[in-house]
Structure 1
C-alpha cells in the first residue's frame, strides 16, 4: 500500500512540475488602483495558494485555542474529582 501511495505522490509531483514549467508566461495583476504586479503565472498562483493556506490556518486558531482551554479545564476537573467506584455514565437500560 505504501508503494502505491508513493507512486501516486510521484505522479502528482511530476504533473505539478510540468504544469509549473509550462506556465512561465508573465501576467499582470492589478491588486490596488495604480499598482501592477508582473510575475510569471506559476509564481502568482503559488503566492495566492500560500496566502490561502495562511488565512485558512489563521481562521482555525480561535477554535484550537478554545479546545485547548476546554481540555485543560476538563483535566483540572478530573484531577480534583475524587476517585469513586461508581461510573460517571450510568449503563444503558
Structure 2
C-alpha cells in the first residue's frame, strides 16, 4: 500500500513539473559576465536553481547517523 502511495505522489509531482514547464516556456537571457549571455527557457533556469538548492541542502545538512551519535 505504501508503494502505491509513493508512486501516486511521484506521478503527481511529475505531472506538476510537466505543466510547470509548459507554462514557463518563454526564453530569458542570463547575463553572467559583461559580454557573456545565455538564452534558456525560464523553466530550465528555475528547475536548475531548485535542484542546486536541493543538492546544497543535502550537502550541508547534518546526516541522520551523525545526529544519533
Scaled to the shorter chain, the TM-score interval is 0.5 to 0.7
Higher strand share: 2
RMSD over aligned Cα atoms: 2.8
After TM superposition, list the pairs within 5 Å mapping 1:1-93 onto structure 2. 2=2, 3=4, 5=5, 6-31=7-32, 33-34=33-34, 35-60=36-61, 63-64=62-63, 67=66, 71=69
Runs (4+) off by over 4 Å: none
The CA distance in 2 between the partners of 1:52 and 1:18, in whole Å, is: 21
- In structure 1, the gaps of 5 or more residues are 72-93
Structure number with greater CO (CA < 8 Å, separation at least 6) is 2
User: How many residues end up aligned between the 2 structures?
Assistant: 65
Partner of 1:13: helix, strand, or coil? helix
